[in-house]
Amino acid sequence: MKKIIFPKPLKKGAKIAVISPAGAVEPSQLEKGIKMIKNKGFEPVLGEHLYTRFSNGYNYAGTEKERIKDINWALNDKEISAVWASRGGYGCQHLIQHLKLKNFIENPKWYIGYSDNTVIQSYLLKKGVASIHGQTIKTSSFGVTDESYNLIFDILKGKTLKYSLPSHALNKKGNIEGELIGGNLALIYALLGTSYSFEFKDKILFIEDIGENYYALDRMIMSLELAGVFKKIKGLIVGGMTNMGDEKDNKDFESSFDKFAYKLISERLSRYKFPVVFGFPNGHIKDNRPLVIGSKTKLNIASKVKIEW
């Protein structure tokens, strides 16, 4: 098993690069997050194309070349101690073939983001470097708790995480330990069969998603099954399933943990024996608590659920 590198804790005054690797953002959407970085004692350094807008069937934060330039600068600049994505959206798949990591590997730094950033995090893990699957700088329409951000800063300062959750009716009990992988289900699905896909053997997989019709959710879960993923993993953590299904037909619309989406996933997994946790607070939800991709994670699912690394 490849040894995973965990970036060094940040010291007071360390520089954190803020970049937009995917969708476009407005300055007003990042004001609170950038101010927060300053208030925590760090220096935000804005990417050249942080606020660039390029429309090509989608509002990207710049052309592919511009976004590639920003992420390679942020990952490799020796003065930068962490890289924080402004948002997700779509566009990170454009970048991974062009990432240059020579200086990054010599001086690894935390990469923070979720949603479309799952693509970047899968790539970094293949290079042996852990990352933080947590809230982006842009505060979403459903808001972000202070605790969600504070926990990210705890990780940046070198602290480890422990979570204790109430049991869920769909949970499958068990006590396991393994490397944590995953992120947004749509991107895990999009990377299947490519050289950039996560390696699933003996891993604990985390999934979350937003805005997918139920048939699309089922298709993605089926694809993971057909790819043999569920025969390889040691356990599964299911996070937010937000705004799923058709708004007209879904009484659970706006729920962070869509009941029918959970039921669908549970039914597809019924033939597998590995432990499963439902209702973990991470994803496109207000209480978006960070996970460390690549961490050696302990998962204890009983009357209560304990997760730690």
Enumerate the active-site residues. 115, 208, 284
Euclidean distance between CA atoms 98 and 71, whole angstroms? 10
Dihedral pair phi/psi, residue 180, rounded to 5°? -85, 130
* Tokens coding 136: 């982006």
* Tokens coding 244: 């799923």
* Chain centroid offset of residue 237 CA: 13
Euclidean distance between CA atoms 252 and 234, whole angstroms? 30
| CA dist 73 → 11, 104, 111 (Å) | 21, 10, 13
End-to-end CA distance of the chain: 17
